[in-house]
Amino acid sequence: MEFRLPNLGEGIDGGTITAVLVRPGDMVKAGQNVVTIETDKAAVDVPIESDGLVEAVQVKLGDKVAIGTPLLTLKTGSPAPAAAAPRPAAAAAAPPPPVATSAAANRAATGDTPSFHPGQSPATSSASAAGATTAFNLPHLGEGIDTGTITAIFVKPGDTVKAGQNVVAVETDKAAVDVPVESDGTVVSVDVQLGDKVAIGGKLLTLKALTPTTAPTAAVAAASVAERESAASPARVAATTSNGRVATLPAAPAAPPVPVPRFDIPASPATRKLARELGVSLSEIRGSGRGGRVTLEDVKAFVRNERQRLKDSGSLAPVPAAAASGSIVNVFTLPPLPDFSKFGPIEVTEMPIIRQTIAKNLTIGWRTMPMVTQHELADITELEAGRKRIVEALPKGSPKITMTVLAIKACVAALKEFPRFNSSYDMNAGQLILKKYYHIGIAVDTERGLVVPVIRDADKKSIRDLAYEVASLASKARENKLTIDEMRGGTFTITNLGGIGGTAFTPIVNYPEVAILGLSKSTLQPVVKDGQIVARLMMPLSLTYDHRVIDGADGCRFTVRLAQLFSDPLRLLMET
């Protein structure tokens, strides 16, 4: 029978699947939640209406479904009993029906052909005599990245892969990334399709080890599978005794496993969002809600307890009482918007992932640090004239020396003189991290949104080197070819709007940096010079800084120093 999306309430005609809580082969009970769906009004857990065996899941994360859409194929009635006696794998004529996961270890140790779910081939089962099968999941791709879209698949079932071989390409909100497999094996199945959105920890492939595994190893692997399949059943492992017989024993206590990000843990979208923003894995948290569901309060309590543990161990400086009470961790939870369609015609469009990430990062920076913007005018008359002479003398096809390139040189000189502008502030630990390297971020406007590639070791590069690297990174940014590493590690950022216009603006600091320089359009302005009113080319500078780290007087001194460097090309060359 098919289980379809039931009516969720007045005015709700559908929503987006945000969590799938069951998989093929699971036994479900009436009233058990099987998916979570986010509607325009709320996140809703959808319970099954009757007992049965899940034969197929007909939706995946991110699917938009209407009321009445099939969600699961369910087989009602009791499953067939499990095979009673172990058999060698070579003698197995047919796979047994599904059995309780607590027997998984025995099957692995004895060479039994393991059970598999309806519609699944024996090749995709959890263990075999030729070696254990394991899931290869989407690994951690970088700070702030929690999902990606599959843009290419480089392998197919039956292929043999080596550790380090790229198997899929993923486009994140920051870059396109090739994902290498972590171990040798044979591809049993490819569990994603082009266009799928996959969360960190989401399954990509099923791999089979190239060599047979020993009984204890297979048992441990099967026990791991059993633990994932059914947290309710106590794990048991198989061990070979001195007389060669196999005994099933309770699993011995072991060190806690390293938490792996999972997306099948029941939690609302708001809870997942808060956990991501706080850098917490849901797999670390014991859910207090129905069916082990992790709630907002569970996340807050976990953060409070972890802070207290670190504080007690001396690894964390005391935090304000507001943080201990949970008010700080809740600042990112926003109230839902009203239904604007009640007031007139509207158009709703999906916000691109990169814009969502920009919004999150800007919100973090804005709410984390008190920002001040200092404005100044730099006389770039001589500098611009010299820049034009150099550009005209360069061979055709050479990278163009732009004002952004010269700004990098000026900023490096000023950062060396004012090292606090090249730092990050760890408020939890009460520490200021002064960086002895100068990696300058360059804001690039693309069709996908604003990206910030980083010029590494800018203090060690010539103007021509910088010109080439700025042009190369800007081109890669616009073609969506930047790698994650090319956008990491910045210590100070420059954003240049001079090519568009404007007289001044207030750029927002690129957290966790503490300062950013904005350049606006240079214009000819009347200036008093040597007692005469003359026309000079003036460029507006807008420096925003973190007032927790930098005082207003230093902010003004830094900006004035930049203006001096821009106004005197010889001084700029001497300083750098």
3-state SS, one letter per residue, for 478-528: HCCCCCCHHHCCCCEEEEECCCCCCCCCCCCCCCCCCEEEEECCCEEEEEE
Active site residue 547: yes
User: What's the chain's length in residues?
Assistant: 576
In 3D, which of 204, 209, 205, 234 has the Cα closest to residue 221?
A: 209
C-alpha 226/C-alpha 251 separation (Å) is: 12
* CA angle (522, 527, 532) in 5-degree steps: 150
- Give the list of residues 6+ apart from residue 372 with CB closer than 8 angstroms, or none: 544, 545, 547, 552, 555
CB atoms within 10 A of CB 533: 9
* 205 φ, ψ (degrees, to nearest 5): -135, 160
C-alpha 450/C-alpha 445 separation (Å) is: 5
Q: Per-residue DSSP letters for 302-355? A: HHHHHHHHHHHTTSS----HHHHTTTTTTTT--PPPP-GGGTS-----PPPHHH
Cβ-contact 175, 487 below 8 angstroms? yes
Identity of the amino acid at 41: K
Identity of the amino acid at 108: A
Place of tokens 């059995």: 99
- Give the list of residues 6+ apart from residue 367 with CB closer than 8 angstroms, or none: 331, 332
Decide: helix, strand or coil at residue 185: strand
Tell me the catalytic residues. Answer: 547
